Structure 1
Amino acid sequence: MARRCTILLTSWFLLLSCGVWAQEQRVFDKTVRTLQVCADGNPTLPPWLSQGKHQHVEVSWDQMSHDYQRYIYYVYHCDADWQVSEGIFESDWLAGTNGQPVEDYEKSFNTMQIYTHYRLTLPNKDVGMLLSGNYCVRVYRDGDGPDESDPVLEARFCVYENSVSISQQVSGNTDIDFNDHHQQVTLRVGYGSLRVVNPAQEFRVLVLQNRRWDTKA
């Protein structure tokens, strides 16, 4: 199976900016609020994990009541377009068993709006990721399944390997204008011993403006 690599560049090399990483996370239940996905419990860090290091991604959300909701989560390996990967078995990329319950939750106390805060950490004692790539977590209510209903929410994160070297040069002298409204990025990718047959098809470059996935180009 051909291996496809995604190279992600953010606006770090153009402009340092502050704020929470706005990766594409989705909520499908109107009683669920404040979905956050971050690395190592730090909301200022993007949900990207370096394979082989002791890092974790934390997915948390609020359900706007004190009624206990038994949530079940499923992890999926995805391609560069965030579609579930085809051509590989679940046992190739997943350690453990899918369909585990979310057991970490806490009810609000002495707040004007009652809610229950749920938290899921990956990897954990039940589930781990074996391959690098894009991953999504879909959370369902107990009794529902991935083939029976829409999920309550979907959270996305990445596991990456330092398999290539990247250098870049930014210039205001572009094919569109000269030192005006645009910048042009020139990249050099050294893939060393990584087996690459067709770089134009096997590599994809994403450029994010101010670290926002909805501005990717």
Structure 2
Amino acid sequence: MTQSIKHSFLLIIFPFLLFGQAEEVIAPDYIKTVVFSGKTPESQLPIIKLGDRIVLTFDALNGNEDDFYYKIEHFDFDWKPSNLSKAEYMVGYDNNRIRHYENSFNTFQIYSHYNLTIPNERTRGLIKSGNYMLQIFDDYDELVFSRKFMIYENQADVGVIVRRSRDVKYYDEKHTIDLAISSSSILFNNPVETVKTLIVQNNNLNTAISNLKPQYTLGNELIYKYTSESSFWAGNEYLNFENKDIRGANVSIQFIELEDLYNNFLFTDIVRANRPYTFNPDINGNFVITALDTERPWIEADYVWMHFSLLAEESIMNKNIYVYGNFNNYELTEANKMHYNDARGVYEAQLLLKQGFYSYKYVLTDENNKLQEGAISGNFHQTDNNYKVLVYYRDLGARYDRLIGIGEANSINIAN
């Protein structure tokens, strides 16, 4: 076998080994409203118990009734391929066509709505805990998009406490997460090497804190009480809008126009970083599809051009600003990037979104393309955030990282 043939073979069989950690592939423009959930329908980061189901739904807006296929891969804690074969983590087989889809009904925008549930008659179960990637392919076996999910065993108790920052400098702006991990079935030998943690704020893997080491051990209990390493910027409550009735006034919508599709124009938002905190109940970046006077919103809700505008201040001029939330998987792309309108003195963006209730915020990236999530919204310790802690374990000689427990807390019950 020549060197070039060998190289091509490796590219096909071991792409993740060659290119490092696996990353989610962003969906193309014609794929919209990707909803990936576990036991709780509104969750956009499925972290499910071993044996539970996951559901992926999405819309294809090209009107072609395309065929899509799915594959499932197992990964270690660091998102490198695990040493397990598919037969070891899967009962049944993947690389199947998604068979359940429906076409839109009575909408201006034509689309096909796809629904994939696992387990199903072909992929009958996933039997190992850990990190997984669900990949969606087209008829040409080209990867269309992918999403991460996790499966856990209930083998560890994970205590989570949200506190105000221990660093006085950020006392009013950051949350610190304290952890206590214990297990009645696993003896944590050499936990610095065998136990790994992941702390996730508001289901956003992009800002997660990874692999903190236990500071203390009390018997078989691992204690984490860091000053800065487990701290998150607290952010601010998300903004929101609702357009379940695209023909009438709804929450945060200033006026409506009808062209080929409906256009909903939101009231212009302002920079909140230097203003007092105001409590505003939100759903932490999530979204819910809903439409008035419909029995099947998944195919009867229409698509609308949503127009966002942000009043420019000197502090954000000449920066890259994005509209951001779970509706676009917290991605920073040209599709949700804002552009400055000189005539109005505002940043503007228009996004094609399905009718529903959405929470969103504005974020910017600096000259080094580093995310500054609170630069526009501000950071306030009073902010209501959700925190999840995932605990992984690999015993000496084991072949993969087990996800042995999950803990959850909310900063509404913050401790000083």
TM range (shorter): 0.7 to 0.9
Is 1:37 aligned with 2:33?
no
Q: For the Cα contact (< 8 Å) 1:41–1:57, is it kept in 2?
A: no
**What is the total number of aligned residue pairs between the two structures?**
186
* Whole-angstrom distance in 2 between the partners of 1:156 and 1:137: 6
Whole-Å separation in 2 of the counterparts to 1:199 and 1:131: 21
Residue deviations 1:61-114 (CA, integer Å, cap 9, x gap): 1111221211111111112233332x2221110111121110000111111111
CA distance, structure 1, for counterparts of residue 203 and residue 158 of structure 2: 18
Q: Match for residue 103 of structure 1?
A: 99
Query: What secondary structure is seen at the aligned counterpart in 1 of 2:174?
Result: coil
Largest Rg, 1 or 2: 2
Which structure is richer in relative contact order (CA contacts within 8 A, separation 6 or more)? 1
Which residue identity is paired with 1:82?
W
Q: Does 1:119 align with 2:115?
A: yes
Correspondences of 1:60-139 after superposition (within 5 Å): 60-85=57-82, 87-127=83-123, 128-139=125-136
TM-score (norm 2): 0.41
Of 155, 159, 170, 1:167 maps to 159
Partner of 2:149: 157
Contact 1:58-1:119 within 8 A present in 2 as well: yes
User: Per-residue deviation at 1:130?
Assistant: 0.9
Q: Deviations over 1:103-126 (max 9, x none)?
A: 000111111111111111111111
Separation (CA, whole Å) in 2 of partners of 1:61 and 1:178: 40
Q: Secondary structure at the match of 2:35?
A: strand
Q: Distance in 2 between matches of 1:153 and 1:37?
A: 12
Q: Give the stretch that moved more between structures: 171-180 or 72-81.
A: 171-180
CA distance in 1, matches of 2:176, 2:38: 30
**CA drift at 1:164:** 0.8
Distance in 1 of aligned mates of 2:28 and 2:44 = 26
Question: 1:153: how far off?
Answer: 1.1
State the partner residue of 1:184.
Answer: 176
Q: Distance in 1 between matches of 2:36 and 2:47?
A: 10
Q: Find out whether 1:141 has 2:138 as its counterpart.
A: yes
Question: Aligned equivalents of 1:119 and 1:162: distance in 2?
Answer: 28
Deviation at 1:186, TM superposition (A): 2.9
Please, what TM-score do these two structures have when normalized by structure 1?
0.75
What do residues 124-171 of structure 1 show as CA deviations (whole Å, max 9, x unaligned)? 111120111111111111242xxxx4x111022111111111224444
Structure 2: how far apart are the matches of 1:140 and 1:213? 23
SS at 1:120 equivalent = strand
Q: 1:171 to 1:94 in 2, by over 3 A?
A: same
Aligned residue type for 2:31 = V
| CA shift in 2, pair 1:172/1:141, >3 Å | closer
Unmatched runs of 5 consecutive residues or more in structure 1:
1-23
Change (3 A) 1:68 1:168: closer
| Distance apart, 1:191 and its partner CA | 2.5
Q: 1:187 to 1:41 in 2, by over 3 A?
A: closer
Q: What is the CA distance between 1:58 and its match in structure 2?
A: 0.7
1:46 positional shift: 4.4
Give, as a single letter, the amino acid of the residue that structure 1 aligns with 2:33. T
Structure 1 residues 169, 120: CA separation in 2 closer, same or farther (over 3 Å shift)?
closer
CA contact (8 A) 1:38 1:47 kept: yes
Q: 1:199 is matched by which residue type in structure 2? A: P
Amino acid at match of 1:160: Y
Partner of 2:200: 208
Q: Given residue 27 of structure 1, which amino acid in structure 2 is its aligned partner? A: I
Specify every segment of 5 or more residues in structure 2 that has no aligned partner in the other structure, as ranges: 1-22, 210-416
